[in-house]
């Protein structure tokens, strides 16, 4: 059996990949199980919770519901955003606000916030409410609001 014609090209965190996977496999499982990028989480599989949120060309996408063949563009996962030694300003704001509790939803929350701030550097409270739709069962929302505002302020200063 040959699948050479079905190879799928991806650009993830600046790196090009050519993979032999089913085109309908959701991007989430390609990231996690094929590439070992486990920062992106599975929470529901139906695009409801947002634990799997990644950025594609700075647009937030629920990767559990996106067939990998449709992942056209530059994919950024939490691993590509920043690192423990060099956190992205959004990640730094999350750390300063001490936002995470169990932490499982936070990669998705942070990707949603990074996408919001990339297109709207000074979001209103209503903008934040509208963009931050990811589910958190620990109830970190009050600190997430603080963290988004803090990140926005930092990004405006540095750009």
Interface ranges with other proteins (CB under 8 A): 22, 25-26, 28-29, 32-34, 36, 38-46, 48-49, 51, 77-79, 81-84, 87, 91, 94-95, 98-107, 110, 128-130, 132-145
56 DSSP β-pair partners: 59, 75
The first and second tokens of residue 10, run together, are 């991806």
Q: Find the shortest distance in angstroms from Cβ 157 to other proteins.
A: 20
Q: Find the shortest distance in angstroms from Cβ 77 to other proteins.
A: 7
Q: Find the shortest distance in angstroms from Cβ 102 to other proteins.
A: 3
Q: Find the shortest distance in angstroms from Cβ 11 to other proteins.
A: 18
Nearer Cβ to other proteins (59/95): 95
What is the DSSP secondary-structure string of the chain?
---GGG-EEEEETTEEEEE---TTSBHHHIIIIIT--TTS--S-SSSSS-TTEEEETTEEEEGGGSBGGG--SEEE-HHHH--SSS--HHHHHHHHTT--SS-SSHHHHHHHHHHHHHH-SS--HHHHHHH-----SS--HHHHHHHHHHHHHHHHHH-
Nearer Cβ to other proteins (59/135): 135
Q: Find the shortest distance in angstroms from Cβ 121 to other proteins.
A: 19
């Amino acid at each position: 059996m040959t699948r050479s014609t079905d190879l799928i090209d991806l650009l993830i965190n600046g790196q090009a990949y050519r993979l032999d996977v089913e085109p309908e496999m959701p991007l989430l499982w390609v990231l996690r199980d094929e590439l070992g990028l486990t920062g992106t989480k599975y929470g529901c599989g139906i695009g409801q919770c947002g634990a799997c949120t990644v950025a594609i060309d700075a647009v937030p996408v629920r990767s559990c519901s996106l067939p990998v063949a449709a992942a056209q563009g530059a994919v950024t996962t939490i691993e590509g955003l920043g690192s423990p030694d060099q956190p992205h300003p959004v990640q730094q704001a999350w750390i300063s606000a001490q936002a995470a509790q169990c932490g499982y939803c936070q990669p998705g929350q942070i990707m949603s916030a990074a996408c919001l701030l990339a297109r709207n550097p000074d979001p209103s409270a209503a903008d934040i409410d509208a963009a931050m739709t990811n589910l958190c069962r620990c109830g970190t929302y009050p600190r997430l609001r603080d963290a988004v505002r803090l990140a926005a302020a930092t990004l405006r200063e540095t750009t």
